[in-house]
């Protein structure tokens, strides 16, 4: 990887900084005389975040670097054999929407991690989980071997294979940075998406606790699940959040089938707000629309879907120009025949990201990934409330009641450049953040100590990772690492340079 051929191509002249910061950090920076750049950003994604982000601001890269350096000096601990970095063997998930065989980054990374992993060309590989979630636990693996006098191989690195959760709980103070913690706050993933995922949302903490208590067989943990996606390819597409109300009104006029499904009253209520985007009535109107859409009579839905698909396919046969919405609806109809979710693009924003671009999905926001390959980080939870484009359980009542019904285009960012090699993607939650680190060939770089455990996945290239004289590992494509809290790791990039992604708790701003 040549220095000027970044794994994430920056298509802008400068990195766009849409990172949000708490007022506490802003006040610290101001008191120390750091320059600040005020940015106006869309509304925050949940009520809890609103309280912390009344005045969204960003701090200059120099100020951020200075604060990070001060944190390092206060928290760094020596590396010993006990808290040295550990190689990980991670869990691949074979969901039906994943890319097939060797076309999947998940499959290729899994094979690179584990020589016993065999890729099956007729099998989907959807997600690679890097973390401690019980449904996809990562495991510590040994890193070296030798042969005895009989020629039999044995491990001689002194590392006992175990689950990552067992490892961090063997000494929480050392690995997690606190003896009051018992787990990672985040789950890191690679996703390879061939078919659309379900229309879904993730509950906030309060609702997650309620759902887990009432239906633990469906909602299996009491945690919230905010998410951030960073595109690895230029073909990533998703639906996220409700479109501005005037766009939905326009689609009601353009697609009579949509009007019929939600009914005359709900449709007219939307149209009445077409030129009043700041009306306090929008939430109630959209909630009623979404409820009518998801509870419409199935025979009615099938008749309208047949009409709509037939009309769009006729335009296609005539080589008439199709809108983005029309093309996407045909794509969804082919993937999920007879599912009313094919009309979702008429209500939800359709976004496309290129490599290195990202967006954040807060609690109680509807979304569905459509295609592409991404890095994803989230709070450590598997709670999903679904309502369409899925054969799985649809919990329509819960989804309709929980959504925020905010109408805004998602904020797409390229992160915040914090040094020559590192771009930080920081959401407005404490659970996680992501660093993308790109080091040129034959160059040295240090992964700074942070007040959080972290995990690393190699996206491209190779490097030698070292922690003094205690630990040394060669990392290549697909290789994954766990790094204990407050420890420093140096690396020396190889002939192609190296590109890695690092996830941790959002210690930069919390």
What are the catalytic residues?
A: 386
Please list, in sequence order, all residues whose beta carbon lies within 8 angstroms of the beta carbon of residue 322, skipping any fewer than 6 positions away. 312, 315, 316, 330
Distance of CA 470 to the CA centre of its chain: 33
Q: Count of CB atoms within 10 A of residue 323's CB?
A: 13
The helix or strand, by DSSP H or E, that contains position 499, with its residue range, turns out to be: strand 489-504
Assigned token pair, 36: 């600040």
Backbone angles phi, psi at 480, to 5 degrees: -125, 145
User: Cα–Cα distance between 42 and 409 in angstroms, integer?
Assistant: 9
Q: Count of CB atoms within 10 A of residue 237's CB?
A: 19
Confirm if 387 and 200 have CB atoms less than 8 A apart: yes
The answer to whether the Cα torsion of 477, 478, 479, 482 is positive or negative is positive
Q: In the Cβ-directed half-sphere of 441, how many Cα atoms lie within 13 Å?
A: 7
**Closest to 466 in 3D by CA, of 485, 482, 446:** 446
**Alpha-carbon dihedral angle through residues 1, 458, 190, 72, given to the nearest 10 degrees:** -110
267 to each of 210, 365, 403, 501, how far by Cα in Å? 33, 22, 19, 45
Angle at CA 468, nearest 5°, toward 462 and 473? 30
How would you class 160 by CB atoms within 10 Å of its CB: exposed for 0-12, middle for 13-18, buried for 19 or more? exposed
User: Cα–Cα distance between 310 and 343 in angstroms, integer?
Assistant: 14
190 to each of 92, 93, 313, how far by Cα in Å? 9, 10, 35
The helix or strand, by DSSP H or E, that contains position 372, with its residue range, turns out to be: strand 367-379
Strands 422-425 and 139-140, sheet pairing: unpaired
């Amino acid at each position: 990887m040549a220095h000027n051929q970044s794994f994430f191509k920056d298509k802008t002249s400068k990195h766009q900084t849409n990172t949000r910061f708490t007022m506490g950090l802003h006040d610290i920076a101001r008191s120390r005389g750091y320059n600040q750049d005020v940015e106006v950003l869309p509304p925050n994604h949940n009520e809890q975040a609103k309280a912390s982000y009344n005045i969204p601001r960003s701090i200059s890269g120099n100020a951020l670097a200075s604060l990070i350096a001060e944190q390092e000096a206060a928290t760094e601990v020596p590396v010993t054999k006990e808290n040295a970095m550990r190689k990980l063997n991670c869990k691949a998930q074979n969901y039906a929407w994943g890319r097939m065989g060797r076309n999947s980054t998940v499959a290729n990374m899994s094979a690179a991690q584990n020589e016993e992993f065999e890729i099956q060309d007729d099998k989907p590989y959807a997600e690679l989980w890097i973390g401690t979630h019980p449904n996809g636990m990562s495991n510590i693996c040994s890193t070296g071997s030798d042969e005895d006098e009989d020629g039999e191989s044995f491990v001689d690195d002194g590392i006992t294979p175990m689950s990552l959760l067992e490892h961090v709980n063997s000494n929480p103070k050392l690995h997690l940075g606190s003896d009051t913690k018992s787990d990672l706050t985040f789950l890191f993933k690679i996703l390879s998406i061939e078919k659309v995922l379900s229309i879904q949302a993730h509950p906030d903490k309060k609702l997650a606790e309620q759902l887990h208590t009432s239906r633990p067989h469906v909602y299996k943990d009491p945690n919230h699940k905010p998410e951030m996606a960073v595109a690895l390819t230029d073909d990533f597409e998703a639906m996220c959040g409700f479109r501005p109300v005037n766009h939905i009104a326009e689609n009601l006029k353009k697609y009579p089938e949509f009007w019929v499904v939600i009914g005359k009253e709900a449709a007219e209520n939307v149209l009445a707000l077409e030129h009043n985007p700041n009306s306090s009535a929008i939430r109630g109107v959209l909630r009623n629309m979404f409820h009518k859409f998801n509870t419409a009579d199935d025979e009615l839905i099938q008749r309208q879907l047949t009409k709509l698909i037939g009309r769009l396919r006729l335009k296609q046969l005539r080589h008439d120009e199709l809108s983005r919405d029309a093309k996407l609806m045909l794509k969804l109809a082919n993937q999920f025949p007879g599912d009313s979710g094919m009309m979702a693009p008429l209500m939800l924003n359709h976004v496309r990201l290129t490599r290195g671009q990202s967006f954040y999905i807060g609690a109680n926001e509807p979304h569905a990934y459509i295609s592409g390959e991404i890095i994803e980080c989230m709070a450590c939870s598997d709670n999903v409330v679904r309502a369409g484009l899925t054969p799985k359980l649809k919990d329509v009542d819960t989804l309709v009641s929980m959504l925020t019904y905010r109408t805004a285009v998602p904020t797409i960012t390229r992160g915040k450049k914090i040094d020559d090699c590192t771009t930080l993607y920081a959401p407005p939650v404490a659970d996680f953040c992501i660093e993308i680190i790109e080091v040129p060939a034959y160059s040295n770089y240090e992964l700074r100590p942070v007040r959080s455990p972290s995990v690393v996945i190699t996206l491209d290239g190779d490097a030698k990772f070292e922690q003094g004289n205690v630990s040394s590992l060669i990392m290549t494509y697909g290789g994954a690492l766990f790094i204990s809290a407050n420890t420093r790791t140096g690396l020396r990039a190889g002939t192609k340079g190296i590109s890695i992604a690092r996830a941790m708790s959002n210690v930069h701003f919390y």
